[in-house]
Amino acid sequence: MSNSSLFIWGAATASYQIEGAVTEAGRTQSIWDTFSHTPGKIERAETGDIACDHYHRYKEDVQLLRNLGANGYRFSISWSRVIPSGRGKLSQQGFDFYERLIDELLQNEIQPFVTLFHWDLPQPLQDIGGFTNRDIAGWFTDYAVITANKLADRVRYWIMLNEPSVFAWAGHAEGFHAPGVKDLKAFWATTHHLNLAQGAAIRALRNVDSHLLLGTTLNLQRSLPADDSEESAEMSARHDDFWNGSFLGPLLSGSYPERIEQEIAPFLKPEDLDLTKQAIDFLGINHYQRSYIEADSSRILGLRNVSPPKNVRRTSFDWEINPNEFRDTLLWVHSNYQCPPIYITENGAYFEDQVEDDGQIHDKARIDFLDSYVHAMLEARSKGVDIRGYFVWSLIDNFEWAAGYRPRFGIVRVDFDSLKRTPKDSYHWYREFIEKNRHLS
Ligand code: FCB
C-alpha cells in the first residue's frame, strides 16, 4: 500500500452513476434501476443502464487517475452486484469486478476508498421496506461484513454511507430520488435506521480486521433563512437539525438534536444511541453549497429550499459558489463536535462545458471553482482542522440522478454516444496542482 501519511489527492464516483452493465454477471435490480425506468422520474427518461460503461472501461478510468497523479480514488460498491438478492448468497462474479478494479488501482499506487452505500439499495430489500424497516441494520451489517471479508486484504478505507441526509430527504420525504417515497413517517424512520445500520456495521467491521479505517460521508450544508420571517428562521433551524445534526449527533455525540427528538422517538429503542455512537477513524465530508430555506406549509416538511439571492455567484445547477462558507463549515464542525480526521470526499461543480473546435474543453469556471475551494480547505487546515485528503467530484461526467446526464460534474468529459473520455482543462489544472502539492502531509 502507498504511503498513507501523505495527503490524499483524489477523485470520486459512485456505482450507479458510472458503471452501467446493470444485468451483467448476475447483478439484479437496485432501487435506482427501478426508479430510472419509471416514466417521469428522470429528465429525458435517462437511466444508468450504460452510464459511462465503467464496468468495461475501468482500466481506462484508472489510467486517467494515474495520469492525474491521484493517490486516492473513492468509488462505491453496487450491493446488487455482490449480493444480488440483497441478503444471503454472494456473487463471486460480482466481487470479481471490484477485485479487478482494486488490483488495478493498487498497481498504480492509488489508494481505494470504498463506499458501501451510495443510495443504490437492492430492490428486493426495498420490497420489504428498505430503510423504513428496522431490520435493515442487520442486512446492511451482513453485506458490510461479507464485503470486507472479500476485500479487506486490499482496502483500508471504508465509508459506510454516502450522504444519508440526501437519501432520507430526497428519497423518502420529497420523493424525487429513489425509492420515490413521500411520507413523513418513512422519512424519520429512514433517518434513524440509517444511523442504526451504520453503527451496527462499524461495530461488526471492527471484528473483521482491526486495521481497517472506518468512516462515513456526510453532506454538510448549513442553512440560512431565505427571508426575514420568523417562520423561515424557525424552518431554517429545523433544516439544520434534520440535515446536519441528525447524522452528526447520533454518530459523534450519541444524541439527536433536541428539536427533532419527538419525531425520532417512535423508532428509538433504549440501546439505540449506544449503537449509533461509534468511534470512527475518519469523517468524510461532502460539500457543495449552503441551503436557503423558506417556510412553506404546503411542503411535507413545512419548508423548501430556494435559489440563492440574485447577487450571489452560482454554478449551472444554481448552487451558490462560496468557498468561504466551505472553510467556515469545516471550522464549524471542528469546533462543535469531537471530530476524527476529515477527508473531503466530494466537492466540485457542474458548469455547462463547451467542446471547442480543437476538441478541447476549456472549463475555466470549473478551474476557478476548484482552485478557490481547495484553497478554502487548506485555510481551514492551517487553522487546525485535521484534513487528510480531498476528492474532486467527479473524475468523469456521469448520471446525475434525477437530472440525468445533463449536469456535467467531471474533470473528464464523457461523450455519452461514443463513451469517449476527454480530459478537460480542469483535469490538467488539477494534475499540476497535485504535482505541486504532492508532498503535503
Ligand atoms: C452528491 C452525491 C453525488 C453527486 C453530487 C453532485 O450529493 O453524493 O453522487 O450526485 O452530489
- Cell numbers that stand for 248 in this block: 452528526
Per domain, the residue ranges of the chain are 8-437
Ligand 1 center–CA 162 separation, angstroms: 9
Which residues contact residue 221 at a Cβ distance below 8 angstroms, ignoring those fewer than 6 apart? 165, 243, 244, 287, 288, 289, 290, 291, 329
Question: 215: which strand partners?
Answer: 159, 282
Q: Which ligand 1 atom sits nearest the alpha carbon of residue 348?
A: 6
Measure Cα distances from 128 to 52, 124, 185, 275, 327 in Å.
Answer: 31, 7, 16, 23, 41
User: Alpha-carbon distance 29 to 25, whole Å?
Assistant: 12
Whole-number pLDDT of residue 4 = 59
Mutual angle of helices 54-68 and 425-437, in 10-degree steps: 50
- Residues catalogued as catalytic: 163, 346
Residue 163 Cβ inside 6 Å of ligand 1? The answer reads yes
User: Alpha-carbon distance 196 to 184, whole Å?
Assistant: 18
Which CATH fold topology does 8-437 show? Answer: TIM Barrel (3.20.20)
Among protein residues, the one with the nearest Cα to ligand 1's atom 10 is 400
Give which of 338, 344, 364 is closest to 352, Cα–Cα.
Answer: 364
* Mutate which of 54, 115, 118, 163 for ligand 1 pocket (most atoms within 8 A of beta carbon): 163
Q: What global pTM score does this model have?
A: 0.98
Among protein residues, the one with the nearest Cα to ligand 1's atom 2 is 163
Ligand 1 center–CA 347 separation, angstroms: 9
Whole-number pLDDT of residue 441 = 78
Q: Which ligand 1 atom sits nearest the alpha carbon of residue 401?
A: 10
* Phi (first) and psi of residue 314, to 5 degrees: -145, 160
Residue 396 Cβ inside 6 Å of ligand 1? The answer reads no
Ligand 1 center–CA 393 separation, angstroms: 8
Q: Which ligand 1 atom sits nearest the alpha carbon of residue 217?
A: 8
User: Helices marked H in 19-87 — which ranges?
Assistant: 31-36, 54-68, 79-82
User: Alpha-carbon distance 107 to 402, whole Å?
Assistant: 35
Q: Tell me if residue 122 falls in helix, strand or coil.
A: strand
Whole-number pLDDT of residue 1 = 41
Whole-number pLDDT of residue 108 = 98
> Per-residue pLDDT for the chain (441 aa), expressed as one digit of tens each?
444 589 999 999 999 999 999 999 999 999 999 999 999 999 999 999 999 999 999 999 999 999 999 999 999 999 999 999 999 999 999 999 999 999 999 999 999 999 999 999 999 999 999 999 999 999 999 999 999 999 999 999 999 999 999 999 999 999 999 999 999 999 999 999 999 999 999 999 999 999 999 999 999 999 999 999 999 999 999 999 999 999 999 999 999 999 999 999 999 999 999 999 999 999 999 999 999 999 999 999 999 999 999 999 999 999 999 999 999 999 999 999 999 999 999 999 999 999 999 999 999 999 999 999 999 999 999 999 999 999 999 999 999 999 999 999 999 999 999 999 999 999 999 999 999 999 897
